[in-house]
Amino acid sequence: MSSESNVKLTIALSNPDLDADEQERETRNLLREIKDLDVESAELVAVTETPLGSKAFGAFLLGVLQAEVSVANCKKLLGFLGDRLGSKAIELEVEANGKKLKVKASSREELTAALEAAQKFVAVG
């Protein structure tokens, strides 16, 4: 399968109530759960260039992970994120067919709308 037919997702978790260790633990738990799904790859995002306002933990961006998934399995991963993250604040960047969509959500309703927008974005590609 060529990587052009895959969808890349960058997921940034944001929970101001957690300290850096707790945030890292939550991110690693989510990463482990995503790896159990049918994804091409999933990993923490290495610090190469720290965006303004982000925090680095070790050699990785705190609370940020990436996954690459086939178009066929993208809906399943987005559904999992909706179930797993519920009302947590997240930023989701979806890259498919050379185009990017970036959405933010801080409630269950916003997350549902963001995931629907991401699914439509991938389907149109």
Q: Mind listing the pLDDT tens digit for each residue in 91-121?
A: 999 999 889 999 999 888 998 899 899 989 8
- pLDDT of 125: 64
Q: Would the CA dihedral through 13, 17, 20, 26 be positive or negative?
A: negative
DSSP class of 4:
G
By mean pLDDT, which of 3-12, 52-61, 80-89, 90-99 is the weakest? Answer: 52-61
Q: Would the CA dihedral through 110, 112, 117, 122 be positive or negative?
A: positive
Query: Residue 54 is which amino acid?
Result: S
Query: Which domains, from first to last, does the chain contain?
Result: 3-124 (3.30.70.120)
* Residue 35: other Cβ atoms inside 10 A: 12
Average confidence score pLDDT of the chain: 86
